[in-house]
Structure formats: C-alpha cells, structure tokens
Amino acid sequence: MKLDRQTAFTGTKEVAAALQFPVAPLEAYLAEKVTGFAGPLTVRQFKGGQSNPTYLLETPQRRYVLRRKPPGKLLPSAHAVDREFRAISALYPQGFPVAEPVIYCDDPALIGTPFYVMGFADGRVFWEPDMPASNPAERAAVYDAMNTTLARLHSFDPAAIGLGSYGRGENYVARQVDRWSKQYRASETEKVDEMERLMEWLPNNLPPAGPVRVVHGDYRLDNMILAADAPRILAVLDWELSTLGDPLADFSYHLMQWDMPPSDSTAGASTLLGRDLAALGIPAREAYVDAYVARTGLDPRPYLPVYLAYNFFRITAIIQGIVGRVRDGTATSEFAPTRAQMVRPMAAKAWEFARAAGAK
C-alpha cells in the first residue's frame, strides 16, 4: 500500500515515548531567556521529519518550534542543530524566507540534548511534488517560487551575510563523496553492488568546482512552508545539511524529484517520474534548469549526469543512515523502518546516471 504522505506527515501528535523530555525546565528557561515568552507551555511532536525531532511549543500568546538532536548513539557530525540555528540567524535579517531564530541552547542537561527554538511559520506543507490538492496555475507559481528562492540563496556572498566561516567550501563535491561514503559504511546493513561501484567511480569523475556559495543540502518542496492563501514561500526549513559548497550540487539535488524511483510501499518515495507535467502545470526538468541558469548564470547542464549520479548516491547514503538508526534504536519517525526498501532503487538510479556520464 502506497503511503499517503500528505495525511501521514501533516500536523502534530503526542510526543513519542523515546523523545519525551520534562517540560517544566524548558518553560522556566524560555521564560527567563526569551522576551515575551510566558507559559503555560504545551508540547507536541510534528509528524514529519526523519532526522532531528521537531516539536510544536504552544503558549497562550504565541507558537514556537523546537528542534533538537535525537537522544542516543549518533553518527559523527550528524544532527547539527547548532549549524541550523546559525544558518537561519544569518539569512533571516536578509529577508530570506526562514523561520525567525529565537534561541539556541547547547546545554544537554535541560532537555537531554542541545536544541534551538524558532518562530512558527503558519502555512501549508505539500508533501508530494505533484501537489495533489492544488491546481495547474498554483503548481506553476510554486515551482517558480522554489526556483527563484534557491537562485537567491545561491546569489549571496557568504562572507557578506556572516557565513564566511560556515564551511570549507572548496572541493565540496569531493568532500561530500568522501563524507557520505564514510557515513554509508558506518550505517551499512548489507552490501549493495551499485554503491560499491559508485564509491570507486565518483571520486575520479567529479565535475569541475563551482563558486563557493551557501548550500541548503536538502532543498525540496516538503522542506518549505507556503502561505495559506498564496503560492509564496514563508519559510525554508531543515538546514541541518547546509554548509558552504557548490551551488550546482545543491540545485541538482533539488532536480532529483523529476527522476526519483517510484515506490508502491509505505516508503513512498515522492516522484514526478511518469507524470503528465504539462497537465499538472509543473515545468519539465529542462525548462526548470533553464530558469535557474537565467537567474544565476550558473550552468549545471554540461555535467548534469555526474551531478545527478552524485546526488542519488548521497541520498542513498542518507537513507542508509536512517536504516542504521533503526538498527541502533535512535530513529525518530514511525516510518523510518520502511526506508530500507528505498536503498537499492536509489543506488540503481545513481549508477544509471553514472553510466550516462560514461561509467562502465
């Protein structure tokens, strides 16, 4: 049975037992540190999200959102909520659509792990790239807004917005291949031939380095909140994988939705593959790329198969990390166990693009 992602991931639920924390110390801390905060505080967990547990904080005056590291054994450098907070704190003053940063706390004693609090963006999340409850005009406008917003992110001079030291930047794709190869190995549960081949082929076949820009790392429709009454992006979410790097690697990750392997299982990988895009009002991938090139002057087209091979490799490693967290008992989503079914199709798609780029 295919998962209805819109129903499954929309809204909140009671906090899962493994992710509960004492509310009273948090309420006292926020009352002391945050201007205008006043209890009583109630806490619920958002249904969506795989990596960092995310909670809705409600008070009589205002709603907030808390993101924390998950408890338990974690992969090195993963779940970087401090980096998320730094990114939105730099981008919010630029008028870039992110939630308002409120406070970061690195003291694990308070709720068990470091966390940050941001403002609640009250709008809509579309969990499927074909936006089933929408219409062609709105879909076209939303896709144009996504393209415009990512192009704007990639136009910032990192140093000019206080993110000059946010990452190494240079040789981004090479370092990402190395990082995700190691993360994949750390959470590996079975041998996948395509991943073995990709880990050998990719380091020797990378595209030339692009300019260093802020990259989101996980830019897709279900990581943003749209206004309730307009095709306007209120907030881009989930900056956990953001850093300084190659904007074309970031953009081509966003392009994966056009080629994502479909799944009939509850793993439910969202895809535009096989859909009548013209009827839906969604641009073809080629037209979407052309719009980004026109806005930025950055052109992934000569190396797009390599970029897509890299990105499908990377997402396979990320999914394997979720499978590893299931093995280790630290997964935060009830749907995490189904992710294992996606590893092989994603790896096969990565190798398909590698072959299109000349791999043997």
For 270-279, what is each residue's pLDDT tens digit? 799 999 999 9
> 295-333, pLDDT tens digit by residue?
999 999 999 999 999 999 999 998 898 887 777 676 555
Percent of the chain with pLDDT over 70: 90
Examine the domain organization and report whether 52 and 198 are in the same domain.
no
Would you call the peptide bond into 40 cis, given omega within 30 degrees of 0 as the criterion?
Answer: yes
The CATH number of whichever domain residue 105 belongs to comes to: 3.30.200.20
DSSP character string of 10-30: SSEEPPPGGG---HHHHHHHH
Of 17-21, 78-82, 223-227, highest mean pLDDT: 223-227
**CATH code of the domain containing 196:** 3.90.1200.10
In a domain, residue 183? The reply is yes
Is residue 127 included in any domain, yes or no?
no
Q: Between residues 23 and 71, which one has the greater pLDDT? A: 23
Same domain flag for 173 and 302? yes
Same domain, 150 and 290: yes
Is 233 part of a structural domain of the chain? yes
pLDDT tier at 76, thresholds 50, 70, 90 = low
Q: How far apart are CA 86 and CA 163, in angstroms?
A: 8
User: How far apart, in whole angstroms, are the C-alpha atoms of residue 38 and residue 40?
Assistant: 7
- Please give the C-alpha separations between residue 96 and each of 134, 237, 255, 320, in angstroms, as whole numbers: 25, 12, 21, 32
**191 lies in some domain:** yes
Residue 244 lies in a domain: yes
Query: What's the average model confidence in pLDDT over 59-77?
Result: 81
Nearest Cα to 242, choosing from 84, 118, 95, 75? 84
Residues 75 and 176 in one domain: no
- The sign of the dihedral angle between the CA atoms of 197, 200, 202, 204 is negative
pLDDT digits (tens, 9 = 90+) for 192-221: 999 999 999 999 999 998 899 999 999 999
* Same domain? 23 vs 113: yes
**129: in domain:** no
pTM: 0.90
Report whether pLDDT(50) > 60: no
Check whether residue 165 and residue 269 sit in a common domain. yes
Residue 124 lies in a domain: no
Residues 159 and 83 both lie in one domain: no
Task: Kindly state whether residues 166 and 113 are assigned to the same domain.
Answer: no
> What local confidence, expressed as pLDDT, does residue 264 receive?
58
**What is the DSSP track for 136-184?**
HHHHHHHHHHHHHHHHHHTTS-GGGGT-TTS---TTHHHHHHHHHHHHH
Q: How confident is the model at residue 266 (pLDDT cuts 50, 70, 90)?
A: very low
Quick one: 115 and 140 in the same domain?
A: no
Q: Is residue 130 part of a domain?
A: no
Closest CA to 121 of 34, 37, 225, 44: 225
Q: Could you give phi then psi for residue 21, rounded to 5 degrees?
A: -150, 160
The residue segments making up the domain with residue 293 are 136-356
Structurally, how many domains does the chain consist of?
Answer: 2
Question: What are 223's two structure tokens?
Answer: 């990581």
Per residue in 21-47, pLDDT tens? 999 999 999 999 999 999 999 999 998
Q: Do 77 and 33 share a structural domain?
A: yes
Mean local confidence (pLDDT), 273-286: 96
